[in-house]
Amino acid sequence: MSDIPINLDELRQRIDRIDGEILRLISERAECAQQVARVKLAEDAGAVFYRPEREAQVLRRIMALNQGPLDAEEVGRLFREIMSACLALEQPVKVAYLGPEGTFTQQAALKHFGESAVSLPMAAIDEVFREVEAGAVNYGVVPVENSTEGVVNHTLDSFMDSSMHICGEVVLRIHHHLLVAPTTRRDKISRIYSHPQSFAQCRKWLDAHYPHAERVPVSSNAEAARLIKSEWHSAAIAGDMAAKLYELEKIAEKIEDRPDNSTRFLIIGHPSVPMCGDDKTSLVVAMRNQPGALHDLLEPFHRHQIDLTRLETRPSRSGVWNYVFFIDFKGHVDQPEVAAVLDEVSLRSAEMKVLGSYPQGVL
């Protein structure tokens, strides 16, 4: 340890030297990405620049290489931003998300694509699907399930009518805070605004701390945050992004009842994604209403030892079959054992649609 300087000036000179070196290397990396773009264009005039499978591999490799002192997630986030900036040099990626600005879905979009992506808020989940389908944006981000409150039915229903692929997933830890404006009378809070799911996720905390406050459900946490700016007796439950956007103060942090409260979001888009080595596949299957249908559906997965990660049932809207099943499992459609299972499931079902194979969420 004798070569480690101990005075502040020397340490700062050392940091300046390291920063210069990091900058030189990041610039070299960015030039490489520009060359990648030229190669992609030479191969195909309609080239797709964003490559989720490659991004997942880059992030996993870096996180595995990391030996500290920063933790792997932190290092992953830094490289997420470097890649996001490199991709923006190739072609900025445009992403629609369930808005308004300041929602957890926006936070998920930025976590997945990085801050260099152009992100556009949409008023409803089916609008996100429509924007992607129409080609107005490259990708869309929608919530699909929460660990406390379960599935987001709107998203599953939108897949039934859509030709969109799932290109990725991102899981976000959801932390809710009780927020007030600078002018709020904190001892006089009589009304709390939030999204119904957030109320459900903070039920016990609210019963214990604000049993008499009126709970007013609104369309998003960000909308709740916006509303309280003009009401001196109201508070909002929302996350960090909304707090920052509307310059609100947190009077209680992390008030969700379950500390592992998280939401899974899906990335939707046109292109199908090649295998990255740690993939998931999502399917929607309509079964005829007969005894043993669910067993028939699941049996091939069991026999081929394919790991199911989720099974969700929705009433079918066609009227011909009673139920459709949404199934997620580990593996990619290009793997022979997965292809074999899909062939069998397709024969046993009334209808089957592969929604996409995509990298498992990394960060």
Ligand X SMILES: O=C(O)C(=O)C[C@]1(C(=O)O)C=C[C@@H](O)C=C1
Q: How far is the CB of 36 from ligand X (least distance, A)?
A: 4
Contact indicator for 238, 221 with CB cutoff of 8 Å = yes
- Cα separations in angstroms, 312 against 42, 261, 336, 344: 43, 19, 25, 20
* Candidates 46-54, 156-164, 169-177, 317-325; binding stretch for ligand X (CB under 6 A): 46-54
Q: Residue 87 or residue 206: which is nearer to ligand X going by CB? A: 87
Q: Which two tokens stand for residue 93?
A: 């990626």
Applying CB under 6 A, does 50 fall inside the site for ligand X?
yes
Size of the site for ligand X (CB under 6 A): 12
Q: Which residues contact 7 (CB under 8 A, 6 or more apart)?
A: none
What residue is closest to ligand X based on CB? 86
Out of 56, 59, 62, 87, which residue is the one contacting ligand X (CB under 6 A)?
87
Residue 58 found at the interface with ligand X (CB under 6 A): yes
Rounded to a whole number of angstroms, the minimum distance from the CB of residue 51 to ligand X is 4
**Does residue 51 touch ligand X according to CB under 6 A?**
yes
CA 173 to the chain's CA centroid: 10
Shortest CA distance to 254 belongs to which of 239, 274, 241? 239
For position 53 contacting ligand X by CB under 6 A, the verdict is no
Of 86-94, 101-109, 132-140, 317-325, which segment contacts ligand X by CB under 6 A? 86-94
Alpha helices by DSSP H, listed for the chain, are: 8-43, 52-65, 72-90, 104-113, 125-133, 153-160, 196-201, 203-209, 221-227, 240-245, 293-303, 336-348
Pick the closer one to ligand X by CB: 56 or 338.
Answer: 56
| Selected binder of ligand X within 47, 54, 160, 351 (CB under 6 A) | 54
Q: How far is the CB of 83 from ligand X (least distance, A)?
A: 4
| Residue that the structure tokens 């009433």 belong to | 315
The answer to whether 55 contacts ligand X (rule: CB under 6 A) is yes
Cβ atoms of 102 and 246 closer than 8 Å? yes
- Expressed in angstroms, the distance from the first to the final Cα of the chain is 34
Residue partners of 317: CB distance under 8 A and separation at least 6: 157, 160
Please tell me whether residue 139 binds ligand X under the rule CB under 6 A: no
- Residue of 56, 62, 83, 237 interacting with ligand X (CB under 6 A): 83
Residue 36 binds to ligand X (criterion: CB under 6 A): yes
Task: Enumerate binding residues for ligand X (CB under 6 A).
Answer: 33, 36, 49-51, 54-55, 58, 83, 86-87, 90
